[in-house]
Amino acid sequence: MAWVEGETVIRRPVEEVFDYVADERHEPAYNPRMARSAKVTDGPVGVGTRFEAHMATRPRPMRMVSELTAFERPHRLELRTTSAFAEVSGRMTFDAVDGGTRMRWSWQLHPHGALRLAGPALGWVGRRQEAAIWAGLKELLESGQPSRP
């Protein structure tokens, strides 16, 4: 098991940041490793909403399924993501701060198979990857040009 935690401040209103992040269909716009993401449940985004995403990995794309397990707009999201390699669970919080939104994330990684032996290294890699993903979100939202799913 490994933990991945971090935070960033995005110069946009908390409701905007929360809504954009909660709808995982937006993620390919700011995460270059995500090839596509689709909402696979009916209704509005909320508790129980599931998304299927495909990460651009080699030798073939990796399928992931995420489910929102808590949804308290605009302050807290919890989710569980499963893939062939790991299960990830955790939370994101969104707090209004002077000039924008402080977004924090905390993920618990449970690798499958031989990857279980790489726990500490996975934490290090995960922290770097998450920081890069959320830096992409920050850049996109602060540009004023967010995409639609």
In a domain, 66, yes or no: yes
Q: Report whether 3 contacts 124 (CB < 8 A).
A: no
In a domain, 70, yes or no: yes
Q: Report whether 14 contacts 33 (CB < 8 A).
A: no
Flag the least confident range among 15-19, 22-26, 77-81, 129-133. Answer: 129-133
pLDDT tens readout for residues 4-15: 899 999 999 999
In a domain, 79, yes or no: yes
The model's pTM is 0.88
What integer pLDDT is reported at residue 53 of this predicted model?
A: 95
Flag the least confident range among 43-52, 98-107, 122-131. Answer: 122-131
CATH number of domain containing 68: 3.30.530.20
Report which residue type is found at 121.
A
What integer pLDDT is reported at residue 124 of this predicted model?
A: 46
What integer pLDDT is reported at residue 113 of this predicted model?
A: 64
**3-state DSSP call for residue 74?**
coil
Please give the residue range of the domain that contains residue 106: 2-142
Q: How confident is the model at residue 91 (pLDDT cuts 50, 70, 90)?
A: very high
- The number of distinct structural domains making up the chain is 1
In a domain, 149, yes or no: no
In a domain, 125, yes or no: yes
What integer pLDDT is reported at residue 117 of this predicted model?
A: 53
What integer pLDDT is reported at residue 143 of this predicted model?
A: 93
Question: 129-139 burial string, b = 16+ CB within 10 Å, else e?
Answer: ebeebbebbbe
What integer pLDDT is reported at residue 110 of this predicted model?
A: 86
In a domain, 148, yes or no: no
**Residue recorded with tokens 């605009």:** 74
Q: Report whether 79 contacts 73 (CB < 8 A).
A: no
What integer pLDDT is reported at residue 118 of this predicted model?
A: 53
Closest alpha carbon to 28 in 107, 104, 137, 138: 137
**3-state DSSP call for residue 73?**
coil
pLDDT tens readout for residues 26-75: 999 999 989 999 999 999 999 999 999 998 877 778 899 999 999 999 99
